[in-house]
Homo-oligomer: A and B are copies of this chain.
Protein backbone atom coordinates (compact mmCIF):
# COMPACT_ATOMS: atom_id res chain seq x y z
CA UNK A 1 0.00 0.00 0.00
CA UNK A 2 1.01 3.59 -0.22
CA UNK A 3 0.99 6.15 2.57
CA UNK A 4 -0.91 9.01 1.09
CA UNK A 5 -1.24 10.89 4.36
CA UNK A 6 1.51 12.11 6.69
CA UNK A 7 1.01 9.82 9.67
CA UNK A 8 1.30 6.56 7.80
CA UNK A 9 4.24 5.61 5.67
CA UNK A 10 5.27 2.33 4.17
CA UNK A 11 8.08 0.42 5.76
CA UNK A 12 9.38 -0.16 9.22
CA UNK A 13 7.08 2.29 10.97
CA UNK A 14 4.41 0.16 12.67
CA UNK A 15 0.79 1.09 13.06
CA UNK A 16 0.29 2.81 16.44
CA UNK A 17 -2.39 1.67 18.89
CA UNK A 18 -4.10 5.04 18.42
CA UNK A 19 -4.24 4.52 14.63
CA UNK A 20 -5.56 0.99 15.06
CA UNK A 21 -8.27 2.15 17.41
CA UNK A 22 -9.18 4.87 14.93
CA UNK A 23 -9.52 2.30 12.14
CA UNK A 24 -11.73 0.22 14.43
CA UNK A 25 -13.96 3.25 14.86
CA UNK A 26 -13.92 4.01 11.13
CA UNK A 27 -14.72 0.40 10.21
CA UNK A 28 -17.92 0.66 12.22
CA UNK A 29 -19.05 4.24 11.91
CA UNK A 30 -20.60 3.72 8.46
CA UNK A 31 -22.44 0.68 7.24
CA UNK A 32 -20.02 0.35 4.35
CA UNK A 33 -16.72 1.96 3.48
CA UNK A 34 -17.83 4.88 1.36
CA UNK A 35 -15.93 6.96 -1.14
CA UNK A 36 -16.30 10.03 1.06
CA UNK A 37 -14.97 8.23 4.11
CA UNK A 38 -11.94 6.98 2.22
CA UNK A 39 -11.34 10.40 0.71
CA UNK A 40 -11.17 11.82 4.24
CA UNK A 41 -8.93 9.05 5.59
CA UNK A 42 -6.63 9.31 2.58
CA UNK A 43 -6.39 13.06 3.10
CA UNK A 44 -5.83 13.38 6.84
CA UNK A 45 -5.18 9.88 8.18
CA UNK A 46 -7.35 7.70 10.42
CA UNK A 47 -6.82 9.51 13.73
CA UNK A 48 -7.67 12.96 12.43
CA UNK A 49 -10.53 11.51 10.35
CA UNK A 50 -12.00 9.93 13.46
CA UNK A 51 -11.69 13.17 15.33
CA UNK A 52 -13.36 15.20 12.58
CA UNK A 53 -16.24 12.75 12.27
CA UNK A 54 -16.82 12.88 16.01
CA UNK A 55 -16.74 16.70 15.95
CA UNK A 56 -19.00 16.76 12.82
CA UNK A 57 -16.35 18.71 10.89
CA UNK A 58 -16.98 16.80 7.68
CA UNK A 59 -18.93 17.27 4.45
CA UNK A 60 -22.67 16.80 4.16
CA UNK A 61 -22.40 13.31 2.70
CA UNK A 62 -20.27 12.07 5.58
CA UNK A 63 -22.48 13.84 8.08
CA UNK A 64 -25.37 11.80 6.72
CA UNK A 65 -23.43 8.55 6.47
CA UNK A 66 -22.16 8.74 10.06
CA UNK A 67 -25.25 10.33 11.61
CA UNK A 68 -26.56 7.14 13.19
CA UNK A 69 -23.33 5.83 14.69
CA UNK A 70 -20.79 8.58 15.16
CA UNK A 71 -21.39 8.87 18.92
CA UNK A 72 -22.26 5.30 19.60
CA UNK A 73 -19.19 3.55 18.13
CA UNK A 74 -16.16 3.03 20.38
CA UNK A 75 -13.04 1.69 18.70
CA UNK A 76 -11.39 0.43 21.87
CA UNK A 77 -14.53 -1.38 22.88
CA UNK A 78 -14.66 -3.13 19.48
CA UNK A 79 -11.03 -4.15 19.89
CA UNK A 80 -11.84 -5.60 23.32
CA UNK A 81 -14.78 -7.54 21.87
CA UNK A 82 -12.48 -8.91 19.19
CA UNK A 83 -9.87 -9.96 21.72
CA UNK A 84 -12.48 -12.01 23.52
CA UNK A 85 -12.58 -14.37 20.52
CA UNK A 86 -8.82 -14.03 19.95
CA UNK A 87 -9.38 -11.75 16.98
CA UNK A 88 -7.45 -8.65 16.05
CA UNK A 89 -7.85 -5.87 13.53
CA UNK A 90 -5.68 -5.80 10.44
CA UNK A 91 -5.36 -2.26 9.09
CA UNK A 92 -3.54 -0.33 6.35
CA UNK A 93 0.16 -0.32 7.18
CA UNK A 94 0.15 -3.78 8.74
CA UNK A 95 2.27 -6.48 7.13
CA UNK A 96 -0.03 -8.49 4.91
CA UNK A 97 -2.60 -5.74 4.46
CA UNK A 98 -3.79 -6.54 0.94
CA UNK A 99 -2.50 -4.37 -1.85
CA UNK A 100 -5.92 -2.97 -2.70
CA UNK A 101 -4.21 0.07 -4.17
CA UNK A 102 -3.24 -1.99 -7.17
CA UNK A 103 -6.84 -2.74 -7.96
CA UNK A 104 -8.30 -0.53 -10.66
CA UNK A 105 -11.52 0.23 -8.81
CA UNK A 106 -9.58 1.57 -5.90
CA UNK A 107 -7.67 4.23 -7.78
CA UNK A 108 -8.55 7.73 -6.59
CA UNK A 109 -10.59 8.54 -9.67
CA UNK A 110 -11.56 5.00 -10.48
CA UNK A 111 -13.31 4.23 -7.24
CA UNK A 112 -16.82 2.97 -7.79
CA UNK A 113 -19.26 5.77 -7.55
CA UNK A 114 -22.96 5.28 -7.71
CA UNK A 115 -24.27 8.05 -9.91
CA UNK A 116 -27.84 7.20 -9.00
CA UNK A 117 -27.40 8.97 -5.65
CA UNK A 118 -26.98 5.94 -3.42
CA UNK A 119 -23.93 5.26 -1.32
CA UNK A 120 -21.55 2.97 -3.16
CA UNK A 121 -19.18 0.56 -1.51
CA UNK A 122 -15.53 1.43 -1.81
CA UNK A 123 -13.38 -1.52 -2.60
CA UNK A 124 -11.00 -1.22 0.31
CA UNK A 125 -12.40 -2.07 3.70
CA UNK A 126 -11.16 0.14 6.55
CA UNK A 127 -9.93 -2.91 8.37
CA UNK A 128 -10.20 -6.67 8.42
CA UNK A 129 -11.16 -8.32 11.69
CA UNK A 130 -8.95 -11.36 11.77
CA UNK A 131 -9.71 -14.39 13.92
CA UNK A 132 -7.13 -17.08 13.50
CA UNK A 133 -3.45 -17.90 13.87
CA UNK A 134 -2.42 -17.63 10.25
CA UNK A 135 -0.33 -14.60 9.34
CA UNK A 136 -2.02 -12.39 6.73
CA UNK A 137 1.21 -11.71 4.88
CA UNK A 138 1.90 -15.39 4.35
CA UNK A 139 -1.68 -16.53 3.88
CA UNK A 140 -2.61 -13.91 1.30
CA UNK A 141 0.57 -14.01 -0.75
CA UNK A 142 -0.75 -17.06 -2.63
CA UNK A 143 -4.49 -17.41 -2.38
CA UNK A 144 -7.38 -18.53 -4.54
CA UNK A 145 -11.09 -18.07 -3.92
CA UNK A 146 -13.32 -21.14 -4.30
CA UNK A 147 -17.05 -20.47 -4.14
CA UNK A 148 -20.34 -21.90 -5.26
CA UNK A 149 -23.93 -22.75 -4.57
CA UNK A 150 -25.35 -23.61 -1.17
CA UNK A 151 -27.15 -26.53 -2.84
CA UNK A 152 -24.54 -28.47 -4.78
CA UNK A 153 -24.77 -31.90 -6.35
CA UNK A 154 -22.62 -34.80 -5.20
CA UNK A 155 -20.51 -34.12 -8.30
CA UNK A 156 -20.02 -30.50 -7.28
CA UNK A 157 -18.98 -31.43 -3.75
CA UNK A 158 -16.52 -34.00 -5.05
CA UNK A 159 -14.92 -31.64 -7.56
CA UNK A 160 -14.76 -28.88 -4.94
CA UNK A 161 -12.94 -31.22 -2.59
CA UNK A 162 -10.52 -32.32 -5.31
CA UNK A 163 -9.70 -28.82 -6.47
CA UNK A 164 -9.46 -27.28 -2.99
CA UNK A 165 -7.28 -30.01 -1.53
CA UNK A 166 -5.22 -29.99 -4.72
CA UNK A 167 -4.41 -26.29 -4.61
CA UNK A 168 -3.92 -26.38 -0.83
CA UNK A 169 -1.11 -28.89 -1.17
CA UNK A 170 0.42 -26.52 -3.73
CA UNK A 171 0.60 -23.96 -0.90
CA UNK A 172 -2.39 -21.93 -1.95
CA UNK A 173 -4.65 -20.50 0.72
CA UNK A 174 -8.26 -21.29 -0.16
CA UNK A 175 -10.57 -18.35 0.53
CA UNK A 176 -14.31 -18.93 0.68
CA UNK A 177 -17.44 -17.67 2.37
CA UNK A 178 -18.09 -20.27 5.07
CA UNK A 179 -21.54 -21.02 3.66
CA UNK A 180 -23.24 -24.38 3.27
CA UNK A 181 -22.54 -26.37 0.13
CA UNK A 182 -19.55 -25.59 -2.04
CA UNK A 183 -17.99 -23.15 0.47
CA UNK A 184 -18.10 -25.70 3.28
CA UNK A 185 -16.79 -28.46 1.00
CA UNK A 186 -13.84 -26.23 0.07
CA UNK A 187 -12.96 -25.33 3.66
CA UNK A 188 -13.34 -28.95 4.79
CA UNK A 189 -11.15 -30.37 2.05
CA UNK A 190 -8.36 -27.93 2.87
CA UNK A 191 -8.56 -28.75 6.57
CA UNK A 192 -8.39 -32.40 5.58
CA UNK A 193 -4.98 -31.99 3.98
CA UNK A 194 -3.64 -29.62 6.64
CA UNK A 195 -3.74 -26.63 4.34
CA UNK A 196 -4.63 -23.00 4.99
CA UNK A 197 -8.17 -21.80 4.52
CA UNK A 198 -9.84 -18.47 5.25
CA UNK A 199 -13.57 -17.91 5.69
CA UNK A 200 -14.76 -14.39 4.95
CA UNK A 201 -17.95 -13.77 6.89
CA UNK A 202 -20.70 -11.26 6.16
CA UNK A 203 -21.15 -10.53 9.88
CA UNK A 204 -18.79 -10.24 12.83
CA UNK A 205 -16.09 -12.84 13.45
CA UNK A 206 -17.57 -13.44 16.90
CA UNK A 207 -20.83 -14.57 15.34
CA UNK A 208 -19.99 -17.65 13.31
CA UNK A 209 -22.61 -17.91 10.60
CA UNK A 210 -24.33 -20.06 9.49
CA UNK A 211 -24.82 -21.78 12.84
CA UNK A 212 -24.90 -25.16 11.13
CA UNK A 213 -21.27 -24.59 10.12
CA UNK A 214 -20.26 -23.60 13.65
CA UNK A 215 -17.96 -26.58 14.15
CA UNK A 216 -16.36 -26.16 10.73
CA UNK A 217 -15.83 -22.42 11.17
CA UNK A 218 -14.32 -22.95 14.63
CA UNK A 219 -11.82 -25.32 13.06
CA UNK A 220 -11.08 -22.78 10.32
CA UNK A 221 -10.53 -20.12 13.02
CA UNK A 222 -8.29 -22.51 14.98
CA UNK A 223 -5.98 -23.31 12.06
CA UNK A 224 -6.47 -20.61 9.42
CA UNK A 225 -8.62 -17.53 9.82
CA UNK A 226 -12.21 -16.40 9.97
CA UNK A 227 -12.26 -12.78 8.88
CA UNK A 228 -14.70 -9.95 8.24
CA UNK A 229 -14.72 -6.27 7.46
CA UNK A 230 -17.72 -5.92 9.78
CA UNK A 231 -16.89 -5.31 13.44
CA UNK A 232 -17.64 -7.82 16.19
CA UNK A 233 -21.28 -8.03 17.10
CA UNK A 234 -22.53 -7.39 13.55
CA UNK A 235 -25.27 -9.66 12.27
CA UNK A 236 -25.74 -10.69 8.65
CA UNK A 237 -27.93 -9.00 6.08
CA UNK A 238 -28.40 -9.61 2.39
CA UNK A 239 -26.32 -6.62 1.33
CA UNK A 240 -23.56 -7.57 3.75
CA UNK A 241 -23.28 -10.89 1.89
CA UNK A 242 -22.97 -9.03 -1.39
CA UNK A 243 -20.41 -6.59 0.03
CA UNK A 244 -18.56 -9.52 1.55
CA UNK A 245 -18.22 -11.15 -1.87
CA UNK A 246 -15.92 -8.37 -3.03
CA UNK A 247 -13.51 -9.20 -0.19
CA UNK A 248 -13.43 -12.86 -1.23
CA UNK A 249 -12.76 -11.89 -4.84
CA UNK A 250 -10.08 -9.38 -3.89
CA UNK A 251 -8.18 -11.75 -1.61
CA UNK A 252 -7.83 -14.49 -4.22
CA UNK A 253 -5.53 -13.96 -7.16
CA UNK A 254 -8.22 -15.91 -9.01
CA UNK A 255 -11.80 -16.91 -8.23
CA UNK A 256 -13.13 -20.35 -9.08
CA UNK A 257 -16.86 -21.07 -9.23
CA UNK A 258 -17.58 -24.78 -8.94
CA UNK A 259 -21.34 -25.08 -9.15
CA UNK A 260 -23.70 -22.14 -9.21
CA UNK A 261 -27.32 -21.81 -10.20
CA UNK A 262 -28.40 -18.96 -12.45
CA UNK A 263 -28.80 -16.47 -9.58
CA UNK A 264 -26.21 -17.78 -7.19
CA UNK A 265 -24.29 -15.34 -5.01
CA UNK A 266 -21.17 -17.01 -6.40
CA UNK A 267 -21.83 -15.12 -9.61
CA UNK A 268 -21.55 -11.84 -7.73
CA UNK A 269 -18.16 -12.94 -6.40
CA UNK A 270 -17.14 -13.83 -9.95
CA UNK A 271 -18.37 -10.45 -11.22
CA UNK A 272 -16.26 -8.72 -8.57
CA UNK A 273 -13.23 -10.75 -9.57
CA UNK A 274 -13.73 -9.83 -13.22
CA UNK A 275 -14.17 -6.17 -12.31
CA UNK A 276 -10.88 -6.39 -10.43
CA UNK A 277 -9.19 -7.88 -13.51
CA UNK A 278 -8.65 -11.14 -11.65
CA UNK A 279 -9.11 -14.32 -13.66
CA UNK A 280 -12.29 -16.27 -13.06
CA UNK A 281 -12.41 -20.02 -13.42
CA UNK A 282 -15.56 -22.11 -13.61
CA UNK A 283 -16.05 -25.85 -13.43
CA UNK A 284 -18.32 -27.25 -16.14
CA UNK A 285 -20.87 -29.96 -15.53
CA UNK A 286 -23.67 -31.63 -17.41
CA UNK A 287 -25.68 -29.09 -19.37
CA UNK A 288 -28.70 -30.88 -17.94
CA UNK A 289 -27.76 -29.90 -14.36
CA UNK A 290 -29.28 -26.70 -12.97
CA UNK A 291 -26.40 -26.51 -10.50
CA UNK A 292 -24.02 -25.90 -13.42
CA UNK A 293 -26.04 -23.22 -15.19
CA UNK A 294 -24.14 -20.39 -13.52
CA UNK A 295 -20.75 -21.93 -14.25
CA UNK A 296 -21.65 -22.38 -17.90
CA UNK A 297 -22.90 -18.82 -18.07
CA UNK A 298 -19.55 -17.62 -16.77
CA UNK A 299 -17.61 -19.66 -19.33
CA UNK A 300 -19.90 -18.87 -22.24
CA UNK A 301 -20.56 -15.21 -21.74
CA UNK A 302 -18.31 -13.74 -19.10
CA UNK A 303 -14.81 -14.76 -20.01
CA UNK A 304 -14.33 -17.38 -17.31
CA UNK A 305 -11.77 -20.08 -17.97
CA UNK A 306 -12.99 -23.66 -17.87
CA UNK A 307 -11.18 -25.48 -15.06
CA UNK A 308 -11.48 -29.06 -13.95
CA UNK A 309 -8.21 -29.99 -12.30
CA UNK A 310 -6.23 -28.45 -9.47
CA UNK A 311 -3.34 -27.84 -11.87
CA UNK A 312 -5.60 -25.70 -14.00
CA UNK A 313 -6.61 -23.65 -10.97
CA UNK A 314 -2.94 -23.24 -10.05
CA UNK A 315 -2.24 -22.06 -13.59
CA UNK A 316 -5.09 -19.59 -13.38
CA UNK A 317 -4.12 -18.22 -9.98
CA UNK A 318 -0.37 -18.42 -10.27
CA UNK A 319 0.50 -18.30 -13.93
CA UNK A 320 -1.64 -15.43 -15.06
CA UNK A 321 0.32 -13.12 -12.82
CA UNK A 322 3.18 -13.63 -15.22
CA UNK A 323 1.28 -12.41 -18.24
CA UNK A 324 1.28 -8.69 -18.47
CA UNK A 325 -1.59 -6.30 -19.03
CA UNK A 326 -3.90 -7.00 -21.93
CA UNK A 327 -3.33 -5.08 -25.12
CA UNK A 328 -4.86 -1.69 -24.66
CA UNK A 329 -6.86 -0.09 -27.40
CA UNK A 330 -6.62 3.55 -28.22
CA UNK A 331 -8.05 5.89 -30.78
CA UNK A 332 -5.56 5.00 -33.47
CA UNK A 333 -6.35 1.33 -33.16
CA UNK A 334 -9.84 2.10 -34.43
CA UNK A 335 -8.33 2.37 -37.87
CA UNK A 336 -9.09 -0.69 -39.86
CA UNK A 337 -11.87 -1.94 -37.62
CA UNK A 338 -14.82 -3.38 -39.42
CA UNK A 339 -18.02 -1.42 -39.41
CA UNK A 340 -19.85 -3.49 -36.79
CA UNK A 341 -16.94 -3.40 -34.37
CA UNK A 342 -16.69 0.36 -34.80
CA UNK A 343 -20.41 0.78 -34.17
CA UNK A 344 -20.17 -1.28 -30.99
CA UNK A 345 -17.27 0.82 -29.74
CA UNK A 346 -19.13 4.01 -30.57
CA UNK A 347 -22.15 2.78 -28.63
CA UNK A 348 -20.14 2.19 -25.47
CA UNK A 349 -19.76 4.80 -22.75
CA UNK A 350 -16.40 5.41 -21.07
CA UNK A 351 -18.03 5.56 -17.63
CA UNK A 352 -20.84 3.54 -16.09
CA UNK A 353 -21.86 0.72 -18.37
CA UNK A 354 -24.48 -0.74 -20.70
CA UNK A 355 -26.13 -4.13 -21.06
CA UNK A 356 -25.42 -5.96 -24.36
CA UNK A 357 -29.03 -5.35 -25.40
CA UNK A 358 -28.57 -1.61 -24.96
CA UNK A 359 -25.34 -1.69 -26.93
CA UNK A 360 -27.11 -3.61 -29.69
CA UNK A 361 -29.98 -1.14 -29.81
CA UNK A 362 -27.62 1.80 -29.94
CA UNK A 363 -25.40 0.21 -32.58
CA UNK A 364 -28.33 -1.03 -34.62
CA UNK A 365 -27.15 -4.63 -34.70
CA UNK A 366 -28.56 -7.91 -33.36
CA UNK A 367 -27.96 -8.56 -29.62
CA UNK A 368 -26.06 -11.77 -30.36
CA UNK A 369 -23.74 -9.92 -32.65
CA UNK A 370 -23.19 -7.25 -30.02
CA UNK A 371 -22.35 -9.88 -27.45
CA UNK A 372 -19.91 -11.63 -29.77
CA UNK A 373 -18.13 -8.39 -30.61
CA UNK A 374 -18.05 -7.31 -26.96
CA UNK A 375 -16.52 -10.61 -25.95
CA UNK A 376 -13.85 -10.26 -28.61
CA UNK A 377 -13.08 -6.69 -27.64
CA UNK A 378 -12.97 -7.58 -23.95
CA UNK A 379 -10.23 -10.07 -24.59
CA UNK A 380 -8.15 -7.31 -26.16
CA UNK A 381 -8.67 -4.98 -23.22
CA UNK A 382 -10.45 -2.41 -25.38
CA UNK A 383 -13.70 -2.82 -23.51
CA UNK A 384 -14.38 -3.69 -19.91
CA UNK A 385 -17.28 -5.49 -18.33
CA UNK A 386 -17.77 -3.86 -14.95
CA UNK A 387 -20.50 -4.28 -12.37
CA UNK A 388 -22.60 -1.64 -14.13
CA UNK A 389 -22.20 -3.17 -17.57
CA UNK A 390 -19.98 -2.81 -20.61
CA UNK A 391 -17.89 0.26 -21.20
CA UNK A 392 -14.88 1.35 -23.16
CA UNK A 393 -11.58 1.15 -21.30
CA UNK A 394 -9.37 4.22 -21.01
CA UNK A 395 -7.32 5.33 -23.95
CA UNK A 396 -3.56 5.58 -23.79
CA UNK A 397 -1.27 2.62 -23.62
CA UNK A 398 0.86 3.53 -26.63
CA UNK A 399 4.16 3.96 -24.88
CA UNK A 400 6.52 1.87 -26.91
CA UNK A 401 7.21 1.71 -30.59
CA UNK A 402 9.02 -1.50 -31.24
CA UNK A 403 10.42 -2.75 -34.50
CA UNK A 404 8.57 -5.54 -36.23
CA UNK A 405 10.76 -8.47 -37.23
Residues in A lying within 8 Å of B, measured CB to CB? 155, 158-159, 283-288, 292, 296, 299-300, 305-309, 312, 315, 319-320, 322-328, 330-342, 346, 365-366, 368-369, 372-373, 375-377, 379-380, 397-402, 404-405
Kindly list chain B residues whose C-beta atoms are within 8 Å of the C-beta of A327: 333, 336-338, 341, 376-377, 380
Q: Across the interface, do B315 and A341 meet the contact criterion of CB distance under 8 Å? A: no
CA separation between A287 and B379, bound complex, in Å?
25
Q: Across the interface, do B319 and A400 meet the contact criterion of CB distance under 8 Å? A: no
CA separation between A255 and B326, bound complex, in Å?
29
CA separation between A315 and B338, bound complex, in Å?
20
Partner of A336, one of B346, B399, B405: B399
Given contact pairs A319-B369, A342-B402, A404-B334, A326 touches B376 in the complex (Cβ within 8 A): yes
Q: Which 7 A-B pairs have the closest CB atoms?
A: A287-B308, A284-B284, A324-B338, A319-B368, A336-B398, A379-B379, A300-B306
CA separation between A328 and B333, bound complex, in Å?
10
Q: Across the interface, do B323 and A300 meet the contact criterion of CB distance under 8 Å? A: no
Q: Across the interface, do B285 and A286 meet the contact criterion of CB distance under 8 Å? A: yes
Give A189 Cβ to nearest chain B Cβ, in Å. Answer: 16
Q: Across the interface, do B324 and A340 meet the contact criterion of CB distance under 8 Å? A: yes
Q: Copies per complex?
A: 2
Q: Across the interface, do A324 and B341 meet the contact criterion of CB distance under 8 Å? A: yes
Q: Across the interface, do B305 and A300 meet the contact criterion of CB distance under 8 Å? A: yes
Q: Across the interface, do B324 and A312 meet the contact criterion of CB distance under 8 Å? A: no
Kindly list chain B residues whose C-beta atoms are within 8 Å of the C-beta of A340: 322-324
A-B contact list, 14 entries, CB within 8 Å: A155-B286, A284-B286, A284-B306, A285-B285, A296-B306, A300-B307, A300-B312, A319-B372, A322-B340, A322-B366, A324-B339, A327-B333, A334-B402, A379-B379
- Most chain B CB within 10 A, of A283, A323, A332, is at A323
CA separation between A399 and B336, bound complex, in Å?
5
Kindly list chain B residues whose C-beta atoms are within 8 Å of the C-beta of A402: 334-335, 337, 342
CA separation between A338 and B402, bound complex, in Å?
10
Q: Across the interface, do B376 and A320 meet the contact criterion of CB distance under 8 Å? A: no
Kindly list chain B residues whose C-beta atoms are within 8 Å of the C-beta of A365: 322
Given contact pairs A288-B158, A319-B366, A333 touches B333 in the complex (Cβ within 8 A): yes
| Residue of B with least CB distance to A292 | B284
Given contact pairs A288-B158, A296-B306, A380-B380, A338 touches B366 in the complex (Cβ within 8 A): no
Give A363 Cβ to nearest chain B Cβ, in Å. Answer: 12
Kindly list chain B residues whose C-beta atoms are within 8 Å of the C-beta of A315: 368
CA separation between A98 and B338, bound complex, in Å?
25
Q: Across the interface, do B323 and A372 meet the contact criterion of CB distance under 8 Å? A: yes
CA separation between A213 and B5, bound complex, in Å?
77
CA separation between A285 and B306, bound complex, in Å?
11
